């Protein structure tokens, strides 16, 4: 039986999608969480000096998307055939576009500048990215509540925690996107996910 260790900070961030994949699959893994002040002690242990990192039977794999895609394929959450897998990847890549737009806002230290950037992001940038996601869902979701093929994939599991962070900043971000709001609700209906969300560590992001 394979041995899995997931190394990440004590937060959701880019590691949460992989935790959710393990959860849905019912697979055991060691959830190794580092507090930020302790991270410098372990940085040299990681292939690229960054996290998340997945260790599989002693082999360390970096890069969040590569980790999640590997796990999704292994546990049948990547799409049922090559075309579905490509559609899932297209949705995920669109989510990464959204993430790239948000990260400068998240990392800005100057409070006045951060407030200005936040207003622009939530007013102009975010609605466009959310509309792009809904467009793909209409193309690939077959009329169901999931992004691709009317069944749960890692695209749904990636969207859920990322939007949780944005909802923590502005709880109304999905008010104009009822399909996306329903998608998150459907993910939470999964009994394993519901149990995990209830018991996981409480973190800011």
pLDDT at 1: 85
Structure tokens at 36: 């930020």
Name the H helices within the chain. 16-25, 64-74, 82-107, 111-120, 126-140, 154-169, 178-189, 191-199
Predicted pLDDT of residue 145: 97
pLDDT tens digit string along 31-77?
A: 999 999 999 999 999 999 999 999 999 999 999 999 999 999 999 99
Q: What is the pLDDT of residue 204?
A: 83
Q: What is the pLDDT of residue 102?
A: 95
Looking at domain 4-76+192-199, which CATH architecture does it have?
3-Layer(aba) Sandwich (3.40)
How far apart, in Å, do the first and last CA atoms of the chain sit? 32
The conformational region for residue 148 under phi > 0 = left, psi -120 to 50 = alpha, else beta, is beta
State the pLDDT at residue 17: 98
pLDDT tens column, 180-193: 999 999 999 999 99
* SS3 state at 170: coil
- For Cα atoms 111, 117, 119, give the angle at the middle one, nearest 5 degrees: 105
- What residue ranges do the domains of the chain occupy? 4-76+192-199, 82-189
Q: What is the CATH number of domain 82-189?
A: 1.20.1050.10
Q: What is the pLDDT of residue 143?
A: 96
Residue segments in the chain with a per-residue pLDDT below the cut of 70: none
Please report where in the chains the tokens 């959204």 appear, as a residue.
98
Tell me the C-alpha distance between 68 and 65, whole Å: 5
Closest among 58, 59, 76, 62 to 21, alpha carbons compared: 76
d(CA 169, CA 178): 18
Cα–Cα distance, 58 to 52 (Å, whole number): 15
Q: Is 190 exposed, middle or buried (0-12, 13-18, 19+ CB in 10 A)?
A: middle
The alpha carbons of the chain give a radius of gyration, in whole angstroms, of 17
Backbone angles phi, psi at 169, to 5 degrees: -85, -45
Report the C-alpha gap between 19 and 179 in whole angstroms.
24
CA gap 43, 24 in Å, rounded: 29
Whether 82-189 and 4-76+192-199 are alike in CATH topology: the answer is no
């Amino acid at each position: 039986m394979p041995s899995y260790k997931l190394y990440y900070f004590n937060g959701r961030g880019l590691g949460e999608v992989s935790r959710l994949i393990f959860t849905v699959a019912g697979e055991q893994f060691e959830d190794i969480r580092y507090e930020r002040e302790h991270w410098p002690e372990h940085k040299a242990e990681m292939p690229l000096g960054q996290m998340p990192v997945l260790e599989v039977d002693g082999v360390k794999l970096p890069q969040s998307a590569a980790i999640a895609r590997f796990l999704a394929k292994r546990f049948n959450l990547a799409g049922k055939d090559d075309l579905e897998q490509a559609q899932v990847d297209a949705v995920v890549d669109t989510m990464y576009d959204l993430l790239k737009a948000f990260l400068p806002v998240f990392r800005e230290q100057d409070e006045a500048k951060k407030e200005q950037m936040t207003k622009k992001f939530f007013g102009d940038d975010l609605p466009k990215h959310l509309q792009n996601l809904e467009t793909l869902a209409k193309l690939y979701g077959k009329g169901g509540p999931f992004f691709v093929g009317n069944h749960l994939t890692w695209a749904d599991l990636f969207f859920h925690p990322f939007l949780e962070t944005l909802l923590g900043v502005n709880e109304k971000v999905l008010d104009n996107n009822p399909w996306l709001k329903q998608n998150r609700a459907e993910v939470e209906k999964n009994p394993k996910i519901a149990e995990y969300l209830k018991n996981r560590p409480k973190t800011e992001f």
